[in-house]
Amino acid sequence: MDVDAIVAALTVEEKAALCLGSDFWHTAPIPRLDVPAIMVSDGPHGLRAQPNESDHVGLSGSLPATCFPTASALASSWNPALFGEIGRALATEALACGVSVVLGPGVNMKRSPLCGRNFEYLSEDPWLAGELAVAMVNGVQGLGIGTSLKHFAANNQETDRLRVSADVDERTLREIYLPAFERVVTKARPWTVMCAYNKVNGTFASEHHWLLTAVLRDEWGFTGLVVSDWGAVHDRVAALTAGLDLEMPPNLGVSDRAIVTAVEHGRLAESVLDTAATRVLRLVSAAETALAPHASFEADAHHALARRAAHESAVLLKNTGNVLPLRPRAGETVALIGEFARTPRYQGAGSSQVNATRIDNALDEVTRLVDPSVQVTFGDGTIDAAVELAGSADHVVLFLGLPASTESEGFDRTSIELPAAQLELLSAVAAAHDRVVVVLANGSTVRIAPWEHEVAAILECWLSGQAVGGAVADLLLGVANPSGKLAETIPVRLEDNSSYLNFPGDSGHVRYGEGSFIGYRGYDAAHAEVSYPFGFGLSYTTFSVSDVSVHVHGSVGADLHVDVSASVTNTGSVAGAEVVQVYVADLESTVTRAVRELKAFAKVALEPGATDRVTMTLDERSFAFWSIVHSRWAVEAGEFELGVGTSSRDLADRIVISLDAPSLAAPLSVMSTLQEWLADPRGSELLRSLDTTGALNSDELVRVIGTMPMDTLAGFPGIGFDHAMLRSMIEQL
Ligand code: BGC
């Protein structure tokens, strides 16, 4: 397709038409120039292709597709290669359905455990989310299908999501809410980015020039297309001017008319329209692969992949006395209690809802896996019957979690507790059996502290896709070994979460008052006890991390990179996988910084007794903060601690390195304080030459007046310098 020639041949009306879809899921065709329409479909963990139906909240049907583990589950795998595999599977299904762009992944940060859409998002940590999403985008796009990185930006709650203004300072945006987008844009070049519904600091994301153009395109070099979230456009011309190319779904007859009128009246430069039309045509051109007929996908193979993915997504939180894996002997009884054992909750509601090709349940799969002499009994969770089952069973597995009605796109949760009826069931069953295993199904963190002492083992499975039943059976019986790690902290109480006082806001605003201290950054800074820390997860085997070494290459501003190596040994008796994590702490800083931040990780699969040596590389950005004084990333000279371990709170080794870096101090001015002048060698020398009384040698005096700007001090009698002398000192500097 000769895009430039087509744009040159288009009328203003046709260009305007291209900047809107033609219906809910298609771009606008231009038949006279042989421009086809292409189809886009949700979503992040499975396709929701609706060739004949249209809604963006998952109410109507869609073609059968594989429902992979949702983002919060899959992120717990900490396995980019798995994301790549699932990306390829999504692309294969998209090809089979004639879909050109998959609307995902979603890389919004989990600011609060209450966000109703957390199940669609990856993590509370931008580095982890970014790395995993890069792999997924590469997987999808490697097969000629586009992705839509969403929701750009600061879409971290469902309450009032179409109007609320996320009020967030630039440093927090740069360090927490934008980096996952930045990483994916710069490393994987997604074909499209989807703008968020909400406002950011008072401006709709769909009209946010700074986000959509200054940052996304000018700084990060994005060359793809920006599409609106479904219904996010309020002023089509303002959105176009800000950098939003494609409005979905199209407000036909209104938005196209507004664009044409604005061009006619000179309120919109036609060149802006040309640019957007060019981007739409480039997308259509890139997407042509999907328009050719393709064979249907292999549903069984994808189901098997979904099962493997669900293995890796499960996080073993507790396993007292190695109660797991279960080893039922001939003639023993295994009781599975809770409706989720028979009717799994495996995905969340809303636009990401997949019409699964098939659904496994744990009851059937456990029954299939155990020796025929083992009796598998089931109770749906009626308390008296459950107690009776548990009392007479050798092994008891209790299936708990959140009902579908409590977490969904469109609204937030108001609590992180399990439903009261489930807690009652849990206590009753735990009183009847001393080694109860709990299997959890929930899209975002639930509170565990009040009841964890009542049970022997907890396997957090999140919403783990259509094959979760088989995967849970494999994990319970040791056919698979858990290797998931928490991508979000499990707090002791909701109130310990740093966003607690500012979520979800009111009166049209949500203030990100905690700044960059979300997730583990908040709990660590507050020294808060947590139930299970970020990065945590047990295995049926044990590992040691040893021989950590660090090599610094280059220097700040000159290709700094730091290699961190560690040996990982499987010290137990079964094969398993461990995730080695590297956290960076800035030990000397003039700005407030997190206690530690994840900057690298590697997942290592090992046979019993085997050792592997892994090397992870940190770049300059790993040590940087966003300087609001300098409006750029900056590394401050001083000591940094590199903590290497298997969770944010279990560091096997900590190595301190020292980095040299140019001073970040602002040049001295009349508004610099006395302390700042004294800290500067030249400034101090000049000042001291005027200090005939030796007052500057008095620590006490300097402490009291040291924070005053020189301009103020110059006005005080007896201080030793006046405004003229201050100006002269500045000239000398
Ligand atoms: C959601 C998007 C989704 C779109 C299309 C919106 O409601 O926020 O994530 O891609 O609908 O279904």
Could you tell me the two tokens for 528? 């808060």
Residue 285 confidence (pLDDT): 96
Work out the number of other CB atoms within 10 angstroms of the CB of residue 662: 11
Q: How far is the CA of 320 from the centre of ligand 1 (A)?
A: 42
Q: How far is the CA of 409 from the centre of ligand 1 (A)?
A: 9
- Enzyme catalytic residues: 229
3-state SS record for 76-139: CCCCHHHHHHHHHHHHHHHHHHCCCEECCCECCCCCCCCCCCHHHECCCCHHHHHHHHHHHHHH
Strand order in the sheet with 509-511: 203-204, 199-200, 165-167, 509-511
Residue 485 confidence (pLDDT): 98
Q: How far is the CA of 351 from the centre of ligand 1 (A)?
A: 5
Could you tell me the two tokens for 113? 């455990």
Least confident of 199-203, 287-291, 618-622: 287-291
Pocket test for ligand 1, best of 24, 42, 163, 247 (most atoms within 8 A of CB): 42
Q: Whose CA is nearest to atom 11 of ligand 1?
A: 56
List C-alpha distances in Å: 540 to 340, 480, 488, 644, 645.
Answer: 24, 9, 22, 22, 18
Cis geometry, peptide bond prior to residue 303 (ω within 30 degrees of 0): no
Please give the Cα distance from 575 to 369 (Å, whole number): 20
Could you tell me the two tokens for 507? 């009166």
Please give the Cα distance from 234 to 523 (Å, whole number): 38
Pocket test for ligand 1, best of 56, 227, 352 (most atoms within 8 A of CB): 56
Least confident of 198-207, 409-418, 691-700: 691-700
For residue range 443-462, list pLDDT tens digits in order.
999 999 999 999 999 999 99
Residue showing tokens 């690298």:
600
- pLDDT bracket for residue 717 (50, 70, 90): confident
SS3 633: strand
- Mean per-residue pLDDT, 147-174: 98
Residue 357 confidence (pLDDT): 97
- pLDDT bracket for residue 559 (50, 70, 90): very high
Question: Is it the case that residue 693 has pLDDT exceeding 90?
Answer: no
Question: Is it the case that residue 52 has pLDDT exceeding 90?
Answer: no
Nearest CA among 554, 522, 524, 535 for reference residue 618? 554
DSSP at 452: G
Please give the Cα distance from 457 to 473 (Å, whole number): 15
- Mean per-residue pLDDT, 197-209: 98
Question: Is it the case that residue 602 has pLDDT exceeding 80?
Answer: yes
Q: How far is the CA of 296 from the centre of ligand 1 (A)?
A: 25
Question: Is it the case that residue 51 has pLDDT exceeding 90?
Answer: no
Q: Whose CA is nearest to atom 2 of ligand 1?
A: 229
Please give the Cα distance from 153 to 195 (Å, whole number): 7
Residue 555 confidence (pLDDT): 97
Q: Whose CA is nearest to atom 5 of ligand 1?
A: 56
Q: How far is the CA of 274 from the centre of ligand 1 (A)?
A: 27
Atom of ligand 1 minimally distant from the CA of 55: 12
Residue 358 confidence (pLDDT): 97
Please give the Cα distance from 188 to 139 (Å, whole number): 10
- Mean per-residue pLDDT, 303-326: 98
Atom of ligand 1 minimally distant from the CA of 150: 9
Please give the Cα distance from 421 to 282 (Å, whole number): 54
Residue 666 confidence (pLDDT): 84
Residue 477 confidence (pLDDT): 98
Q: Whose CA is nearest to atom 3 of ligand 1?
A: 351
Nearest CA among 36, 276, 289, 14 for reference residue 144? 289
- Indicate the pairing of strand 490-491 with strand 530-532: antiparallel
Pocket test for ligand 1, best of 158, 230, 246 (most atoms within 8 A of CB): 230
Question: Is it the case that residue 725 has pLDDT exceeding 90?
Answer: yes
Nearest CA among 192, 102, 208, 191 for reference residue 155? 208
DSSP β-bridge partners for residue 183: none
Q: Whose CA is nearest to atom 9 of ligand 1?
A: 351
Please give the Cα distance from 84 to 65 (Å, whole number): 18
DSSP β-bridge partners for residue 377: 335
DSSP at 471: H
Could you tell me the two tokens for 694? 């030796």
For residue range 255-285, list pLDDT tens digits in order.
999 999 999 999 999 999 999 999 999 999 9
Atom of ligand 1 minimally distant from the CA of 120: 9
| Mean residue pLDDT across the chain | 96
Question: Is it the case that residue 54 has pLDDT exceeding 90?
Answer: no
Question: Is it the case that residue 136 has pLDDT exceeding 80?
Answer: yes
Question: Is it the case that residue 665 has pLDDT exceeding 90?
Answer: no
Q: How far is the CA of 180 from the centre of ligand 1 (A)?
A: 19
Residue 720 confidence (pLDDT): 86
DSSP string computed for 26-58? BBPPBGGGTB---BEEB-TTS-B--SS---SSS
Q: How far is the CA of 229 from the centre of ligand 1 (A)?
A: 6
Q: How far is the CA of 104 from the centre of ligand 1 (A)?
A: 9
- Mean per-residue pLDDT, 705-725: 92
Nearest CA among 175, 95, 167, 180 for reference residue 136? 180
The backbone region for 78, taken as left when phi is positive above 0, alpha when psi lies in -120 to 50, beta otherwise, is left
Work out the number of other CB atoms within 10 angstroms of the CB of residue 701: 12
Residue 426 confidence (pLDDT): 98
Pocket test for ligand 1, best of 59, 248, 351 (most atoms within 8 A of CB): 351
Q: Is the separation of the CB atoms in 472 and 432 below 8 Å?
A: no
Q: Is the separation of the CB atoms in 674 and 705 below 8 Å?
A: yes
Q: Is the separation of the CB atoms in 99 and 41 below 8 Å?
A: yes
Atom of ligand 1 minimally distant from the CA of 58: 12
DSSP β-bridge partners for residue 106: 121, 150
Q: Which residue has the higher pLDDT, 674 or 289?
A: 674
- Mean per-residue pLDDT, 463-471: 98
Q: Whose CA is nearest to atom 12 of ligand 1?
A: 56
Q: How far is the CA of 230 from the centre of ligand 1 (A)?
A: 6
For residue range 372-383, list pLDDT tens digits in order.
999 999 999 999
Q: How far is the CA of 439 from the centre of ligand 1 (A)?
A: 30
Q: How far is the CA of 98 from the centre of ligand 1 (A)?
A: 19
- Mean per-residue pLDDT, 521-540: 98
Ligand 1 neighbours (beta carbon < 6 A) = 42-43, 56, 103, 150, 229-230, 351
Q: How far is the CA of 39 from the centre of ligand 1 (A)?
A: 14
- Mean per-residue pLDDT, 531-556: 98
Q: How far is the CA of 56 from the centre of ligand 1 (A)?
A: 6
Find all residues with CB under 8 Å of 194, minimum gap 6, and list them.
103, 148, 149, 150, 151, 152, 226, 227, 228, 229
Q: Is the separation of the CB atoms in 683 and 691 below 8 Å?
A: no
Q: Which long-range contacts (CB under 8 A, 24 or more apart) does 79-83 make?
A: 79/312, 79/603, 80/131, 80/132, 80/134, 80/135, 81/135, 82/308, 82/309, 82/312, 83/132, 83/133, 83/135, 83/136, 83/139
Question: Is it the case that residue 60 has pLDDT exceeding 80?
Answer: no
